Amino acid sequence: MMNLPLNITKTVHDWIFSIMPDTAATITIWVIVAAAYLALFAVAGLYLVLLERKVAAWFQLRLGPNRVGPFGMFQTMADALKLVSKELTSNDRIDKFLYNLAPYFVIVASLIAIGVFPFSQQFQAFDINIGLFFLFSVSSIGVIGILLGGWASNNKYSLIGAMRSGLQTISYELSVGLSILTMVLLTGTLQLSEIIEIQRTGGWLILQGHIPAVIAFMIFMIAGTAETNRAPFDLVEAESELGAGFHTEYSGMKFAYFFLAEFINMFIIASIAVVLFFGGWLSPFGITEGITWFPEFLWFLIKVLVVIMTMMWFRWTFPRLRVDQLLTLEWKYLLPINLVNLVIMAIVIWLNWTI
């Protein structure tokens, strides 16, 4: 299935190799891909922020941003521009090195993770055979940035926020990991492209694995929302309790990094959900299977947006949990359910009850 993006990349690839020695060409291609992903990252982040504001407005009987550009399209661009031009202020007696390092930890972690996503069959920066494992481990780096930021800010609110973030992320990573593991039992592979290939013939994994897969999906969504520190698990930046939480002392672009990373993390969680449960870039019922010009990554984006909308729906409807309730939910409910679910999935596969 040769389609347009592949043709373009192939042409560019051939052209670069024809004018340069091999090593230089490889490095050039790496740089181009990295730049493309950076641009994608920035645009995705900005438009997710806009989407969130629009969705919030729909939920709250408001209009949302509608002044800058048509439908407020350039509102977040303007915001980003404002943040770039802001002075970077900080308070006295911060740990300068850690304070400045923290935003990069957060943003780099999200950036690396986005590299392995199969946006379509051809549109994937690197397809490694431990894809899921890689995603999972890389996305856990982000919490270090939050902890560093909270610690280095020399502010009690930041510190409480950072500590909450630490315990929350570490706890919920178990559930994310176990629910992914449940699905890996079904797929038998960690490579993202292969996971999608399996769904081409057998249908979406959430259907293939039926009951245990649905449970795994629910747990994944709950734990994933908690991982990204979004409501109802946004204790990290609970504004009615801690002001702005761990990024209270950050300003300008450093704050923007934290802010963008939150949205990119949401994108990552939604993407994993789409790849693992909803067939990635595969069209539902194969309706665009034979159409060669149809950009497959559209299906991926549509599915991701639906999942993201669900997460936004959570955010604008639910109140926030208390910190001990958060831990109770994870350790007393989600984790045992998850372990039992893992066994059920194993039995389902053993007895060949998959659809």
Partner 1 sequence: MIDQEVKTNMKTEEYFVNMGPQHPAAHGVLRLILTIDGEIIKNVEPDLGYIHRSIEKMCERDSYQQVVHLTDRMDYLSSHINNEAVCLAVEKGLELEVSDRVKVIRTIISELTRLASHQLWWGVMGMDLGALTTYFYAFRDRELINDIFEETCGARLTMNYNVPGGLMFDIHPNFVQRTKDFIAHFKTKLPEYDRLLTGNIIFEKRTKGVGILTKEDAVAFGATGPVGRGSGFACDVRKTDPYSAYDRVDFKEVLYTEGDSYARYKVRIAEMWESMSIIEQLIDNIPEGNIKEPTKAVIKLPKGEFYQRVETARGELGVYINSTGTKNPYRVKFRSPGFSNLSVLNHITKGSKIGDLVATMASFDFVIPDIDR
Binding site for partner 1 (CB under 8 A): 56, 59-62, 156-157, 160, 231-232, 234-235, 238-243, 316-325
- For residue 157, give the nearest of 244, 251, 250, 252 by alpha carbon: 244
Whole-number minimum distance, CB 80 to partner 1, in Å?
23
Whole-number minimum distance, CB 128 to partner 1, in Å?
38
Cβ proximity to partner 1, 49 vs 272, nearer residue = 49
Tokens 């890996």 correspond to 184
Tokens encoding 214: 């649905």
Whole-number minimum distance, CB 328 to partner 1, in Å?
9
Distance from the Cα of residue 20 to its chain's centroid = 36
- Contact yes or no for 257/107 (Cβ under 8 A): yes
Q: CA-CA distance, 192 to 59, in Å (whole number)?
A: 35
Distance from the Cα of residue 115 to its chain's centroid = 11
- Contact yes or no for 309/55 (Cβ under 8 A): yes
Please report, as a single letter, which amino acid is at residue 329: L
Cβ proximity to partner 1, 61 vs 351, nearer residue = 61
Whole-number minimum distance, CB 319 to partner 1, in Å?
4
Q: CA-CA distance, 274 to 303, in Å (whole number)?
A: 6
Whole-number minimum distance, CB 59 to partner 1, in Å?
5
Cβ proximity to partner 1, 30 vs 318, nearer residue = 318
Cβ proximity to partner 1, 290 vs 319, nearer residue = 319
Cβ proximity to partner 1, 178 vs 231, nearer residue = 231
Whole-number minimum distance, CB 200 to partner 1, in Å?
39
Tokens 């740990």 correspond to 95
Whole-number minimum distance, CB 53 to partner 1, in Å?
12
Q: Concatenated DSSP letters for 191-241?
A: -HHHHHHHHHHH--HHHHTHHHHHHHHHHHHHHHHHHTT-TTSGGGG-HHH
Q: How many residues does the chain have?
A: 355
Cβ proximity to partner 1, 47 vs 59, nearer residue = 59
Cβ proximity to partner 1, 160 vs 186, nearer residue = 160
The three-state secondary structure class of 306 is: helix
